[in-house]
Amino acid sequence: MTKQRDTFIFYRSFFEAIEEVEAESQLPIYRAIAMYALDKKEPKLTGLAKVLWRLIRPQIDANWIRYENGCKGAEHGFKGGAPVGNQNARKQPQNNPKTTLNVNVNDNENINDNENGEFNPQDIF
């Protein structure tokens, strides 16, 4: 079965790139984007339309991957999380301190010996 979606993302960058192409080449590019983004049907393009398609397709492919991963997550979401009897799901970490100790104590003993009030970068280091 061919994968299908009901919606897809159309980016401004797609629109701006397609607007730079002559009017008779725009419709095939728009159709290619819609057909691939909705039904994953590979378009047959030539010329400048093919060049634009090669720049646009990686973004649509990335969106398909996100969509498919979202569908996988939705399948597991219907399960309602970990079962009540699963003790591992409720187990707390063993060595989880309540506070974090500051191990980076700064015992800086530098004293500014500049008596005339001017800034001296050597005083910092």
- Each residue's pLDDT tens digit, 30-76: 999 999 999 999 999 999 999 999 999 999 999 988 888 877 766 65
As a whole number of angstroms, the distance between CA 91 and CA 101 comes to: 24
Q: 57-79 burial by CB neighbour count: b if 16+ within 10 A, else e?
A: beebeeebeeeeeeeeeeeeeee
Read off the DSSP letter of residue 122: G
* CA 108/CA 105 separation, integer angstroms: 9
Do 28 and 49 form a contact (C-beta atoms < 8 A)?
yes
**Global pTM value:** 0.55
